[in-house]
Structure 1
Amino acid sequence: MGDNFVMQASKIAAVVVLYWVTSISMVFLNKYLLSSPELRLDAPLFVTCSQCWITVALCLVMRAIANVWPAQVHFPHLDLSVDILLQVLPLSIIFMGMIAFNNLCLKSVGVAFYNVGRSLTTVFNVIMSYVLLGQTTSLRSLICCAIIIGGFWLGVDQESQHNSLSILGILYGVLASLCVSLNAIYMKKILPLVEGSIWRLTYYNNINASLLFVPAFLLAGESSALLTFNNFGHISFWVVMLASGCLGFSMSYVTGLQIKFTSPLTHNISGTAKACAQTVIAVSYFHEVKTLLWWTSNFFVLLGSSSYTWVRGMEMKRAQKDFMDEVRTESLEKENESA
């Protein structure tokens, strides 16, 4: 009994560590690609587009491996249906906005402020669920959202006080938060088209995004930045690009793995704790000095996000219990009527 508990706890700890390392490494690698003074590559849309190409290629590689070792590797069948591509296109546009604005936000703000800059996802979840689905939200959930908004505004104020505020970075962060919320809502509608497979949806989303990003980065004038980029032919640059793409591809897997070994609630709490650790690491790594109010803004954002997760978890459990009680009551009434 004790050995089984230790083994299960060790597995959970390993999965959580894997999730943290993958997520934090991806953020720091993307920051290097997007705004490193050593690299000097001013082409965020090209970087994002390249990561989409890498994801498509990795999906095909995983499918090929699954064909060779079907017992060891499970990966869904991938085809290329133009009809599905077109049906997935509206979601792909939202997905494209989500990853583009995420990268543009990361390029414009520091890693330490990145989580605060795009912290309004929960708030937009509440707003969009009401606007698009007609779902109302409890007072306690709204209070949690108010705490997040307060932390966000305090963080913006503190960045302004330190003359490190990027208006564009804040705008990109807000738009990224909106797109993340819309992506989650519309994904539920599109998943049946790909037989409920997240990997197939990832495959089609990234094909569409790869095609859409090409005219986007050309129209943004990034072709001139690429022509003058000195490291374009260096293998080290493409190794970092490939590593970043692989980490992005792996996030779907490690996220699902963490949920499988823990729970959706624990996953969200782990994500909040990871964001806190990422902020501390970034401040230490970049030798930044932050005020007490700046740290307070981060605390409010993390407190509001974790509280919202806990409140929604309790509400869902209560709703499930009420539903089961209602089913039992109806069943008993039918039994009494038949008797």
Structure 2
Amino acid sequence: MPQDDPPVWKVASVVSFYMAVALVMVMVNKWVLTKTSLPLTFLFLQLSIAVLLLLLSSLSSPTLFHIPRLCRKTLLALAPLCLVNLIGLIFNIYCLQLVDASYFQVARGLTLPITVLLTSFTSGEKPTNQILISCFFVTYGFTYSFIPLPWISNEKAVEETPMLGMLLGMACAMMIAIHAILVKNALKVVDGKMLDLAYWQNLLSAIGLIPFILLSGEIGGVERLIKGEEGDLRAFIIGSGVTGIVGFLICIAGLLSIKVTSPVTHMFSAAVRSVLQTILGVYLFHDVFNTNRIMSIILIILGGLLYTWHKARSQVKPTPPDVAKEPLLSDQTIDLEKGLSEERS
């Protein structure tokens, strides 16, 4: 947090805005995916609309965003990040297509443990016992629906969600974790300008999606959708427009979050968002809501809160220079990075 803390109303407004656009993104994505079977084309349109809105913002408000120049050196420097981002988005959209909206956060629940593991591996810093305990809660929350404690729940561990959906969620979590590491160097390439990075990620990811769309055979599906032979064209068009706009707003919300909120504040808002996402999933899509799922969500939220509380507390104390540079990885970091090109969701 900055030295002069912003007023409560401003923090509440930014957090509410970020929470709202993130929830809309997931719910509208899920709605469209239940109406059509063109996830990659849908994702391509989202990214393209977000790029278009960034271009329009550069024309209407050059002080907010100016179209950056792309040279060969910059392209090569951003290529690894954009590739990881693209693969993560593909895993993300297919995961959301397979799992319930209320369970989506559980499917990607291993993001924190994997991020901690990779950060420890790349930096050589051994995670503390408190961090390991936090990761244990998150990991157990992820596996709870498959291996429930018999004295807590008598419900069967089967048919909670497709195994493929959970595997895609794990793969997505891996990509988010790798992205969290690569984004630090990528920000240096664009002089710390988040909107510049968002622009290049969205643009290059949209271009990179084209071969996947061709290979997946979705072109034929688009033709059938337009002819009215398959899917809901109206839902597809509305959903693409809404999520494209929301993807742009997530970039703005992420910038505001960095300036106004602290990681702890954002972590608590993420916990509230998880609860709201569960309620909306049950209400809008009639998702299954049982003891196993409740416990999974609670364990993952608890692990995330413990992790953020420990990291925030440790940063208050005087630390050696190398430890002080250790990144504070929270839902704010994770959501913002996905929001740069989302998520999506």
Give the structure-1-normalised TM-score: 0.84
Shift, 1:147, TM fit: 0.7
Task: Find the counterpart in structure 2 of residue 44 from structure 1.
Answer: 39
- Given that 2:11 and 2:260 are in contact with CA atoms closer than 8 Å, whether structure 1 keeps it comes out as yes
Report SS of the residue matched to 2:319: helix
Task: Find the counterpart in structure 2 of residue 172 from structure 1.
Answer: 168
Distance between the aligned counterparts of 1:147 and 1:27, measured in 2?
A: 24
Report SS of the residue matched to 2:104: helix
- Given that 1:76 and 1:197 are in contact with CA atoms closer than 8 Å, whether structure 2 keeps it comes out as no
- Given that 2:225 and 2:233 are in contact with CA atoms closer than 8 Å, whether structure 1 keeps it comes out as no
| Change beyond 3 A, Cα 1:235–1:79 | farther
Shift, 1:286, TM fit: 2.7
- Given that 2:147 and 2:157 are in contact with CA atoms closer than 8 Å, whether structure 1 keeps it comes out as yes
Task: Find the counterpart in structure 2 of residue 152 from structure 1.
Answer: 142
Distance between the aligned counterparts of 1:142 and 1:30, measured in 2?
A: 33
Task: Find the counterpart in structure 2 of residue 113 from structure 1.
Answer: 103
Q: Which of 1 and 2 has greater Rg?
A: 1
Task: Find the counterpart in structure 1 of residue 328 from structure 2.
Answer: none
- Given that 1:98 and 1:176 are in contact with CA atoms closer than 8 Å, whether structure 2 keeps it comes out as yes
Q: Deviations over 1:32-57 (max 9, x none)?
A: 122x2xx3x21211111222211221
- Runs of 5+ consecutive residues of structure 2 not aligned to the other structure: 149-154, 322-345
| Change beyond 3 A, Cα 1:256–1:268 | farther
Q: Does 1:273 align with 2:272?
A: yes
Shift, 1:195, TM fit: 1.5
| Change beyond 3 A, Cα 1:50–1:157 | farther
Shift, 1:256, TM fit: 2.6
Task: Find the counterpart in structure 1 of residue 53 from structure 2.
Answer: 58
Q: How many residues align?
A: 308
Task: Find the counterpart in structure 2 of residue 336 from structure 1.
Answer: none
Shift, 1:212, TM fit: 1.1
| Change beyond 3 A, Cα 1:66–1:224 | same
Q: Aligned-pair RMSD on alpha carbons? A: 2.3
The letter of the residue matching 1:199 is L
Q: Does 1:141 align with 2:141?
A: no
| Change beyond 3 A, Cα 1:197–1:156 | farther
Shift, 1:65, TM fit: 1.0
Report SS of the residue matched to 2:61: helix
Q: Does 1 or 2 have the higher relative contact order (CA < 8 Å, sep 6+)?
A: 2
Distance between the aligned counterparts of 1:251 and 1:91, measured in 2?
A: 19
Distance between the aligned counterparts of 1:283 and 1:235, measured in 2?
A: 24
Shift, 1:228, TM fit: 1.4
Shift, 1:30, TM fit: 0.7
Give the structure-2-normalised TM-score: 0.83
Distance between the aligned counterparts of 2:44 and 2:78, measured in 1?
A: 18
The letter of the residue matching 1:13 is A
Task: Find the counterpart in structure 2 of residue 23 from structure 1.
Answer: 22
Report SS of the residue matched to 1:128: helix
- Runs of 5+ consecutive residues of structure 1 not aligned to the other structure: 325-339
Instruction: Answer with 105-114 or 287-296: which moved more.
Output: 287-296
Report SS of the residue matched to 1:322: coil
The 4+ residue runs of structure 1 with deviation greater than 6 A are: none
Partner of residue 93 from structure 2, selected from 98, 103, 112: 103
- Given that 2:144 and 2:292 are in contact with CA atoms closer than 8 Å, whether structure 1 keeps it comes out as yes
| Change beyond 3 A, Cα 1:185–1:55 | same
Task: Find the counterpart in structure 2 of residue 295 from structure 1.
Answer: 294
Identity value in percent: 27
| Change beyond 3 A, Cα 1:216–1:150 | same
The structure richer in helix per residue is: 1
The letter of the residue matching 1:119 is G
- Given that 1:89 and 1:205 are in contact with CA atoms closer than 8 Å, whether structure 2 keeps it comes out as no
Report SS of the residue matched to 1:237: helix
Distance between the aligned counterparts of 2:288 and 2:215, measured in 1?
A: 38
| Change beyond 3 A, Cα 1:287–1:190 | closer
